[in-house]
Amino acid sequence: MTEQTLQFQAEVARLLHIVTHALYSQKEIFLRELISNASDACDKLRFAAQTDETLWAGDADLKVTIGADKAARILTIADNGIGMNRDELVANLGTIARSGTGEFLSGLTGDAGKDMALIGQFGVGFYSAFMVAERVEVVSRKAGEAQAWHWASDGSGQFTIGEAARETRGTTITLHLRAGEDEFLEPERLRHIVKTYSDHIALPVLLQDGDRTEALNAASALWARPKAEIEPQQYTDFYHHVAHAFDDPWLTLHNRVEGKLDYTLLLFVPGRRPPDLFEPSRKAQLKLYVRRVFITDRCDELVPSWLRFLRGVVDSADLPLNVSREMLQHNPVVARIRQAITRRVLGELEKKAAGEAEAYAGFWENFGAVLKEGLYEDAEHREVLLKLARFRSSSRDGWVSLADYVAAMKDGQTAIYVINGEQLDQLKRSPQLEGFRAKGIEVLLLTDPVDDFWLSVVSDFEGKPIRSATRAGADLDGIAGGADAAKPEDKAEGAALGTLVALLKQTLGEAVKDVRESKRLTDSAVCLVAGDGDMDMHLERLLRMHQKLDMASPRILEINPSHPLIRRLAERATQPGAVDALADAAQLLLDQARIVEGEPLADPQAFARRLAAVMQQGL
Ligand code: ADP
Ligand code: MG
């Protein structure tokens, strides 16, 4: 088959354009990326060879070999890992399958400096080779296959692919360095870069210099070494390696457990939120090793999914080396390690929450929404998670814990009040909060989709019921403080109000569950609340949005007896012909309440017609 020329996916072409044209101070990271890929390829081979020993083909000595040819100005990085066939070369080195890419690219501004900083955080993997090379060639032969393939590109929109010769499995990357990049041919420089970025991966990185071969890294799995011998920077470098990340870890946990079970953990909580944290496919990403041999990074059972932001390594001495993915699924050893990791991480979080509130708030902003999934899914850790949870509040800035909330409760207040919605500002303006605000009662503002779910299973905190401020029973009468919503003389007269309520009920019929005088409104004329046994309004909206629910339950319409509009309507309700005269007004009151709630109008045309009619009368 002859050589073919193919186009890069548009996103890759854009990325390459930036990579090749921007000046980037940390070009050396290309080597870390290529070594990291080689290391992944070796891990993959080891895993595949567990079910098919022939893949070893007599060469079980996995390694990465760097070669520098000063005369030709060529740097090569070779591995004897899993390799790629033609289709894989085209897919892996012609597109970006990584989740978060779209988001990342749309964040690019065109300003080289800013974009480069973003690239630094995202990581461009293989494509970083073009930072130093004007032409990149890849020759690869997949383990178990006979044909090798040659991929080449100068990074400008297209690449070629054709047949090649390679004696053994694996991949060789050849970089034809740009003018001025000769430093990357110097053994001293290479030694330094490998030490810095790849010292503690479990795979040897060798430098081939003529006939001499020199090991550049310690290749001692960092987690297996005593804590006391490890510098903080080494942990950070290792985190960059295992997590493919560029930030500093927020928390590093390294410990060795010996006893009934024998295992080592080196876990990191990232300092920033990975872009794909909420992808449905996103599961735990810890790497599982058995006595320093990589087994898999797909063992979802190692941590609960609400700790899926954890990165790092678990190395067990109790699992058999030939453990298969299926065997890991209901494995008692894995289950106990999971227990231990969960307790350990929660314990550390509690310590941070207590001792370093500000740092903890940063963590919570990144991962709180994930942790809250545990409130819903994991009854066993619910109590601790409730203590760890932080919330926005209607009456103070910053993050509030449930204990903070309880400490600030008013005399006579027995419940913890919350309100759910999409956005903070919108929630702060909710009419249902008016009465709470007038009495100085704090309401927690919940804006993560997961909040609706855990609230359906968590009914109280330390004996204080958690109640939605949008529920009928949120009765403020018994709570001291604030001015009463209205002085009697400012209120609609009782009998007239009763007539109005009856009229509204009659006119609105099935569209509402009930109409009643409100204790919670001070400024708005009306609002909707959920009946005591009914589904939370925001949850229902969310379920409808995701087509999990197709009916809308009728709500209770509350009217504010001291609002001038309601007072006028109440007066009018007692006069002859009121039912006809107020028919439009009644519908408009309900529509208005729905709009404020973010509910769709049942009949927008009718709404427009009524509004026009009422405005016309007013002129
Ligand atoms: P990432 O490593 O984050 O997946 P990269 O851009 O670094 O992204 O690499 C893209 C893909 O190319 C890898 O996921 C892998 O499938 C493949 N790949 C890159 N280098 C090698 C290699 N040396 N051996 C085998 N596959 C490789
Ligand atoms: Mg990579």
Domains of the chain: 4-214 (3.30.565.10), 224-357 (3.30.230.80), 491-531+540-618 (1.20.120.790)
122 pLDDT band, cuts 50/70/90, is low
Cα atoms found within 13 Å of the Cα of residue 491, Cβ hemisphere only: 18
3-state secondary structure at position 148: strand
181 pLDDT band, cuts 50/70/90, is very high
Pick the residue whose CA is nearest to atom 8 on ligand 1.
125
State the Rg of the chain over Cα: 32
Of all residues in the chain, the percent with pLDDT exceeding 70 is 94
pLDDT at 553 over 90: no
Supply the pLDDT for residue 180: 94
Pull the structure tokens for residue 443: 């309401």
pLDDT at 176 over 80: yes
* Contact of 526 with 559, CB cutoff 8 Å: yes
Q: Please compute the mean of the pLDDT values over residues 29-41 and round it to a whole number.
A: 90
Work out which ligand 1 atom sits closest to the CA atom of 82.
25
pLDDT at 14 over 70: yes
pLDDT at 280 over 80: no
| Cβ of residue 115 lying under 6 Å from some atom of ligand 1 | no
Pick the residue whose CA is nearest to atom 16 on ligand 1.
92
Nearest to 89 by CA among 14, 145, 43, 39: 145
SS3 readout for 454-517: HHCCCCEECCEEEEECCECCCCCCCCCCCCCCCCHHHCCCHHHHHHHHHHHHHHHHHHEEEEEE
CA–CA distance, 342 with 217 (Å, rounded to integer):
33
pLDDT in tens, 314-369: 999 898 766 777 788 889 999 999 999 999 999 999 999 999 999 999 999 999 99
Cα 469 to middle of ligand 2, angstroms:
49
| Cβ of residue 82 lying under 6 Å from some atom of ligand 1 | yes
599 pLDDT band, cuts 50/70/90, is confident
| Ligand that comes closest to the CA of residue 126 | 1
| Cβ of residue 155 lying under 6 Å from some atom of ligand 1 | no
Pocket test for ligand 1, best of 32, 40, 86 (most atoms within 8 A of CB): 40
Residue 227, classified by CB atoms within 10 Å of its CB into exposed (0-12), middle (13-18) or buried (19+), is exposed
1 pLDDT band, cuts 50/70/90, is low
| Cβ of residue 352 lying under 6 Å from some atom of ligand 1 | no
| Cβ of residue 171 lying under 6 Å from some atom of ligand 1 | yes
CA–CA distance, 64 with 55 (Å, rounded to integer):
18
Q: Please give the model's pTM, rounded to 2 decimal places.
A: 0.75
Q: What is the mean pLDDT of the chain?
A: 90
pLDDT in tens, 460-499: 999 999 999 998 776 777 777 655 545 556 777 889 999 9
CA 154, 159, 163: angle at the middle one, nearest 5? 120
Pocket test for ligand 1, best of 16, 29, 126, 127 (most atoms within 8 A of CB): 126
Pick the residue whose CA is nearest to atom 19 on ligand 1.
37
| Cβ of residue 126 lying under 6 Å from some atom of ligand 1 | yes
Cα 253 to middle of ligand 1, angstroms:
28
How many CB atoms lie under 10 A from the CB of residue 320?
Answer: 11
Residue 258, CA distances (Å) to 265, 316, 318 in order: 12, 10, 11
Cα 275 to middle of ligand 2, angstroms:
16
Cα 89 to middle of ligand 1, angstroms:
9
* Contact of 154 with 42, CB cutoff 8 Å: no
Residue 235, CA distances (Å) to 20, 120, 425, 512 in order: 31, 19, 40, 60
| Cβ of residue 400 lying under 6 Å from some atom of ligand 1 | no
pLDDT at 50 over 90: no
Q: Please compute the mean of the pLDDT values over residues 23-50 and round it to a whole number.
A: 86
Cα 84 to middle of ligand 2, angstroms:
14
Cα 242 to middle of ligand 2, angstroms:
10
| Ligand that comes closest to the CA of residue 94 | 1
Supply the pLDDT for residue 15: 85
pLDDT at 113 over 70: no
At how many degrees (to 10) do helices 232-243 and 187-198 cross?
80
- Report for 18-27, 83-92, 422-431: range of highest mean pLDDT: 83-92
CA–CA distance, 561 with 488 (Å, rounded to integer):
10
Least confident segment among 159-168, 191-200, 303-312, 407-416: 191-200
pLDDT at 407 over 60: yes
Cα 96 to middle of ligand 2, angstroms:
11
Cα 577 to middle of ligand 1, angstroms:
78
Pick the residue whose CA is nearest to atom 12 on ligand 1.
92
Cα 172 to middle of ligand 2, angstroms:
15
Work out which ligand 1 atom sits closest to the CA atom of 37.
20
| Cβ of residue 79 lying under 6 Å from some atom of ligand 1 | yes
541 pLDDT band, cuts 50/70/90, is confident
With residue 427 as reference, give the H or E element that holds it: helix 424-428
Cα 176 to middle of ligand 2, angstroms:
20
Identify how many contiguous H helices and E strands the chain contains and give both numbers: 22, 23
CA–CA distance, 599 with 452 (Å, rounded to integer):
17
Work out which ligand 1 atom sits closest to the CA atom of 44.
25
Chain centroid to CA 159: 34
Pick the residue whose CA is nearest to atom 7 on ligand 1.
125
Cα 8 to middle of ligand 1, angstroms:
16
Write down the residue that tokens 């006809």 correspond to.
580
Least confident segment among 8-17, 42-51, 113-122: 113-122
Supply the pLDDT for residue 575: 93
Which chain residues have CB less than 5 Å from ligand 2, an ion?
Answer: 37, 125
Supply the pLDDT for residue 285: 84
Work out which ligand 1 atom sits closest to the CA atom of 244.
3
pLDDT at 107 over 90: no
pLDDT at 232 over 70: yes
Cα 126 to middle of ligand 2, angstroms:
6
| Ligand that comes closest to the CA of residue 98 | 1
| Ligand that comes closest to the CA of residue 43 | 1
Cα 326 to middle of ligand 2, angstroms:
27
Least confident segment among 9-23, 128-142, 180-194, 460-474: 9-23
Pick the residue whose CA is nearest to atom 18 on ligand 1.
37
| Cβ of residue 274 lying under 6 Å from some atom of ligand 1 | no
Pick the residue whose CA is nearest to atom 1 on ligand 1.
125
Pocket test for ligand 1, best of 8, 16, 30, 37 (most atoms within 8 A of CB): 37
Comparing 103 with 288, the larger pLDDT belongs to: 288
Q: Please compute the mean of the pLDDT values over residues 181-187 and round it to a whole number.
A: 96
Cα 38 to middle of ligand 1, angstroms:
8
Pull the structure tokens for residue 474: 């949120």
Of all residues in the chain, the percent with pLDDT exceeding 90 is 66
DSSP label at 69? E
Cα 487 to middle of ligand 2, angstroms:
69
pLDDT in tens, 499-515: 999 999 999 999 999 99
